[in-house]
Amino acid sequence: MKIKSLLSVLLLFSASSLFAWNNDIIVSTPNTSLLLNAPKGGELKIVYFGEKIDNSEISQIYDSGIASHRAAYPVFGIDCQTEPALSVTHPDGNMSLDLEISDVTTAKETNATITTVTMKDKVYPFIVKINYKAYNNTDIIETWSEITNNEKKPVLLRKFASGYLPIRKGDVWLSHLYGSWADEGRLVQEELTPGMKVIKNKDGVRNSTTDHGEIMFSLDGKPQENSGRVIGAALCWSGNYKLSIDTDNNREHQFMAGINEENSEYKLTSKETFVTPELALTFSNEGLSGVSRNFHRWARVENKLHNGKKLRDILLNSWEGVYFDINEKGMDQMMGDISSMGGELFVMDDGWFGVKYPRKDDRSSLGDWSVDKNKLPNGVPGLVEAAKKHGIKFGIWIEPEMTNTVSELYEKHPDWVIHQSNRPLRTGRGGSQLVLDVSNPKVQDFIFSIVDNLMKENPDLYYIKWDANMSVANWGSSYLTADKQSHLMIDYHRGLRKVLERIRAKYPDLVIQACASGGGRATYGVLPYFDEFWVSDDTDALQRIYMQWGTSYFFPSNAMASHVSAAPNHQTGRIIPIKFRFDVAMTARLGMEIQPKNMTDKEKEFSKKAIEGYKQIRPIVQQGELYRLISPYDKKGVSSLMYTTEDKSQAVFFAYKLEHFCNQSIPRFTMKGLNPDKTYMITEMNVDGKPVFLDGKKIKGSILMNQGVELPLNSEYSSRVLKLTAL
């Protein structure tokens, strides 16, 4: 096969292009290619990233002048003008690296091919491997580095990015997410201009509560949802990160991403290898939504979201219903109510634990994971049995990485918290919360035991809500040695990953939600171990449209927990009709966050019908392909999106009115992702009153996509959900 390949190359290319071919490597997914130039003894360079190419097109990439010729992993020390992906200090004080390629290998996996380029320093026994993992069934290429010190003494890693990508300058726009508590996942889009753009997080625990470690580059001007060339990137790390885009006087934006090195320099001991997190890259010529679909498919199919192919249950969470006022009778009542409305799962939130220090508010008891028998005389087993009686499943809230100064755990193990020995403690939530030092193996064992003990006592426990409500405020570890204190924020998340791997090895079917002061852990750094995340503590349906729109850029619908809550809303005080609240929550994993006994009979009846309807469209929403249509950020007074099945036989369309004025002009709604040659039956879901005139109509896909439909949204908080079925 090698001889035949070489002969075909000789026939296809001229002598001038033959040299390039001998050194070129194509890393491809079904629709995307990354072209690398890797001459032995030379420097690894990125030539091209975009639509899929084959071997016959390599010379044309060079001949067209579009080849990049940028270092694929720039290092500091020889050419110091560009931003480095890697910088080190050798034991002799030398701060330079000069890498040359020594080997290129490929390895086949069941669902992917890994290309590894090994580079060695020309002077020092220092090795860097750059890996590119191309998936066979999804259009994602992951890249990461493996840095090995073969010197006799430690080498200081001062910067250690996961990956680098040059992006040609032009009318390039950046889309990324930012936010804060109760306002997470907000979208911002901006043109890239000269200078340095840095997106970072230094929370220590919750790395998406502010900025996000995922971005998109629109290469053809202002971002469009369903057209234009777009590059997407997502850093798969749960800790502090830094994404940077350097736009200087060369012809390219230099993008790189990795662990945030600030106060996290790493001493790499002799023979030790440092492995960076994966940076996932993708490309689509179908706009922002096309990149989103690539990420969503990768998450579901490649288990970047735990059990990503499974449908999620409809649940009631107790938090906004009763807050800390947990008791056995109240939990039984809420279980009976959600069961009667068609729900499938009840989750008891905070306030169920603590013996010496009962958990009555947020000021005590974290770490003391023993049932408060005054509240729950029959313990968790009694609640599991009560759930069975009502024909539903049971889940529970924990916050395993945290403790309070008022707790038995802290009294026994004050050395287990992150702290500085010669400074007073800075506490968090409730004036007493502290973060456990998860770099410590004893703490890792303790956290694992929390879940393990719950499961041993309650084998039928179905769901855990795993919370994390504090950032690192006392940077210091009594476990790590004095010379490795800067390792804390790396070793914390390595330790967390070890715990999660142990839990998943023993309990693969346990459903776990990642909650962190709301949406603080919407990240592919943890999602391989979690089934979903809590988008935000703000359950206001209007504000959720904006947050869930942004969050959907990178994360699939079955990862996004969206709950129907009370009116007035507990965060904003806004009074919104229950239909609108359901219509918003049904675009993700539907749940409720309410005290059912405070609902009217009419609200309960509507909820029952809505839940029944959601079960019909759940496979389309939770496993379908997302097409965002009219953005709430475009200020057109409305927003719309839709999901389609892969075979385009079914779809669900959502539309919302965001503001209400007299004589308001509502844009026509055009759909996407349908089969233009098929005719679709339209059925309105969640009807509250008279169905829309489109209900029961049969319209061809080409008309729905090219001409669209007029959709009356005549009152404040109007919303429509339409199911489309191909005839």
Mean pLDDT value of segment 651-667: 95
What is the three-state SS of 108-122? ECCCEEEEEEEEEEC
Cα distance between residue 63 and residue 249, in whole Å = 24
Is 70 exceeded by the pLDDT of residue 375?
Answer: yes
CATH superfamily of 315-623: Aldolase class I (3.20.20.70)
Domain 72-301 fold is Beta-galactosidase; Chain A, domain 5 (2.70.98)
Is 50 exceeded by the pLDDT of residue 674?
Answer: yes
- The C-alpha R_g of the chain, in whole angstroms, comes to 27
Residues of the chain with CATH 2.70.98.60: 72-301
pLDDT at 500: 98
**Tokens in use for 514?**
């990642």
**Tokens in use for 620?**
């389309």
Is 70 exceeded by the pLDDT of residue 9?
Answer: no
Mean pLDDT value of segment 177-203: 97
Three-state SS at 172: coil
Q: Which backbone phi and psi does 157 adopt, to 5 degrees?
A: -85, 115
pLDDT tens column, 206-233: 999 999 999 999 999 999 999 999 999 9
CA trace torsion 218, 223, 228, 229 (10° rounding)? 10
Is 90 exceeded by the pLDDT of residue 379?
Answer: yes
Q: Predicted confidence band at 16 (pLDDT cuts at 50, 70, 90)?
A: very low
Distances (CA, A) of 492 to 421, 460, 526: 18, 31, 13
Residues of the chain with CATH 2.60.40.1180: 628-726
Residues of the chain with CATH 3.20.20.70: 315-623
**Tokens in use for 91?**
């034991």
pLDDT at 628: 98
Distances (CA, A) of 692 to 577, 583, 725: 17, 15, 17
Q: Amino acid identity, residue 165? A: L
Provide the b/e sequence for 108-142 (b: ≥16 CB within 10 Å).
Answer: eeeebbebebbbbbeebebbbbbbbbbbeebbbbb
pLDDT tens column, 89-129: 999 999 999 999 999 999 999 999 999 999 999 999 999 99
The residue written with tokens 């800075």 in the block is 426
Q: Amino acid identity, residue 500? A: L
pLDDT at 82: 84
Task: Provide, rounded to the nearest whole percent, the portion of the chain with pLDDT above 70.
Answer: 97
pLDDT at 183: 97
Is 50 exceeded by the pLDDT of residue 545?
Answer: yes
Q: Are 454 and 461 in contact (CB under 8 A)?
A: yes
pLDDT tens column, 682-726: 999 999 999 999 999 999 999 999 999 999 999 999 999 999 999
Cα distance between residue 259 and residue 238, in whole Å = 9
Q: Predicted confidence band at 19 (pLDDT cuts at 50, 70, 90)?
A: very low
Burial of 570 (0-12, 13-18, 19+ CB in 10 A): middle
pLDDT tens column, 292-316: 999 999 999 999 999 999 999 999 9
Task: Provide, rounded to the nearest whole percent, the portion of the chain with pLDDT above 90.
Answer: 95
pLDDT at 171: 96
pLDDT at 511: 98
Work out the angle between the directed axes of helices 441-457 and 488-506 (0-180°, nearest 10): 30
Is 80 exceeded by the pLDDT of residue 13?
Answer: no
ω into 568 cis (within 30 of 0): yes
- Which of the four CATH numbers 2.60.40.1180, 1.10.3720.10, 2.30.30.30, 3.40.50.1100 does domain 628-726 have? 2.60.40.1180
Mean pLDDT value of segment 356-373: 98
Distances (CA, A) of 438 to 237, 274, 456, 473, 722: 16, 19, 23, 14, 47
Distances (CA, A) of 14 to 6, 63, 102, 289, 463: 13, 12, 26, 40, 62
Distances (CA, A) of 53 to 29, 168, 548: 10, 18, 35
Q: Are 73 and 59 in contact (CB under 8 A)?
A: no
**Percent helix, strand and coil across the chain, each to the nearest 5:** 25, 30, 45
Is 90 exceeded by the pLDDT of residue 439?
Answer: yes
- H helices, E strands: number in the chain: 14, 36
pLDDT tens column, 610-645: 999 999 999 999 999 999 999 999 999 999 999 999
pLDDT tens column, 233-289: 999 999 999 999 999 888 899 999 999 999 999 999 999 999 999 999 999 999 999
Q: Predicted confidence band at 22 (pLDDT cuts at 50, 70, 90)?
A: low
Cα distance between residue 72 and residue 86, in whole Å = 11
